[in-house]
Amino acid sequence: MSTPNDIPLILEPDELEQLLDRPQLLVVDLSDIEKYRHRHVPSAVHLEYSRLLRQQPPAMGLLPTAAELAAVFSELGLTPDTHVVAYDSEGNGRASRLLWTLDVVGHEGYSLLNGGARAWFEEGHPAESGVNLPAASVYTVEDTDNADALADRKWILDNLQRDDLVVLDARSADEFSGLDRRAARAGHIPGAVNLNWTDTTDPAENGRLRPAGELMELLTDRGVTPEREVVTHCQTHHRSSLMWVVLKSLGYGRVRGYPGSWSEWGNHPDTPIATGR
C-alpha cells in the first residue's frame, strides 16, 4: 500500500534519509522524551504518547475527543498536505497508534519507519540531539464516531456474529487464554484469533516487519483473510495498532482498531468472554 504521494506506508530508513528535505514531510518521534532529546532523526519533532489516549478508568486507551485531537495535530503543525512519518524506540506500537489515529480523522499522508529508532541508529543513519519545536497550525478534526478505522464496544457487539468479520487479538498467548489476567475478567472476545504482535517483527532485522509472505501466512493460518473485515485489539490498542498497520500494508481493505481493547472489554460486566486457546 502506498499513500497518495507515493511514499510507501512502510518506509525503510534508507528511503527516509533521502526524503528528509522534502517539503510537507513531518517526522514524529514517539519515544520517551529523554531518548528523543539524546538522539533522534534529523528534523524530527516529539509527541508524548499519552496525548493520543483518553483514559477513562478502567479503559485506558480510548480515542481522545475531536477537539483534543485537533489541538494535538495543530501543535504538531499538521496541514491536510502534511505527510507524517512516525517511529519510536519501543517496537513501533506507539508510532502505529499515531498512524491509526490519523486514519480515523481522515488524514491521508502517513508512513511507518520500518524498524523504528533501532533500525535507524543501528544502521548508521544521521542523528541529532536537542528539541525541535514545530510551527503550529490550525488543524480541524470532525466528529470521528463513524470513522471506518474505528470499532467501539457497541460496534463489536452488534457485528460479532458476522461470518465476514474476524477479531484479531494482538496480546500474548497467556493473555488470550486467560492465564495472564490484566482486567477484572481474563480471556478473549468469543471467536477472536490470536497473533502476538511481536511475531510480526524480526529481531535479526533490527525490529523490521517480517516479509509480506511470512506475514500473510501468519494471518491466513488464523483465518484472517483479505476479504474479511478485521478488528484489531490488545490491552489498550497499542500493540494492536502495529497489527493494524501490518494489515493495511498487506492490502486488507477493511481494518478497524478497537481503542477500548481489553482494558474496556475485560472490565465490563456484560461483555461475553471466552477462555482457552
Q: How do residues 126-157 score in pLDDT, each as one tens digit?
A: 999 999 999 999 999 998 988 999 999 999 99
- Residue at grid coordinates 463489536: 156
Q: Say what the pLDDT of residue 1 is.
A: 45
Residues labelled as active-site residues: 234
Domains, in order of start, for the chain:
10-122 (3.40.250.10), 153-265 (3.40.250.10)
Closest C-alpha among 72, 45, 66 to residue 138: 72
Residue 5: pLDDT over 90: no
Q: What are phi and psi of 149, to 5 degrees?
A: -90, 0
Say how far residue 10 (Cα) sits from the centre of its chain.
12
Share of the chain above pLDDT 70, in %: 98
Q: Say what the pLDDT of residue 276 is.
A: 87
CA angle in degrees (0–180, nearest 5) for 227-230-234: 155
Q: How do residues 49-78 score in pLDDT, each as one tens digit?
A: 999 999 999 999 999 999 999 999 999 999
Q: How do residues 264-276 score in pLDDT, each as one tens digit?
A: 999 999 999 999 8
Residue 175: pLDDT over 70: yes
| Maximum separation of any 2 CA atoms in the chain, in Å | 52
Q: Say what the pLDDT of residue 249 is.
A: 98
Report the distance separating Cα 241 and Cα 171, nearest Å. Answer: 11
Please tell me whether residue 158 adopts helix, strand or coil conformation.
helix
Q: From residue 86, how far is each of 31, 51, 161, 272 by CA, in Å?
A: 10, 15, 35, 35
Please tell me whether residue 173 adopts helix, strand or coil conformation.
helix
Please tell me whether residue 13 adopts helix, strand or coil conformation.
helix
Residue 2: pLDDT over 50: no
- Residues 70-95: what's their mean pLDDT? 97
- Residues 82-106: what's their mean pLDDT? 98
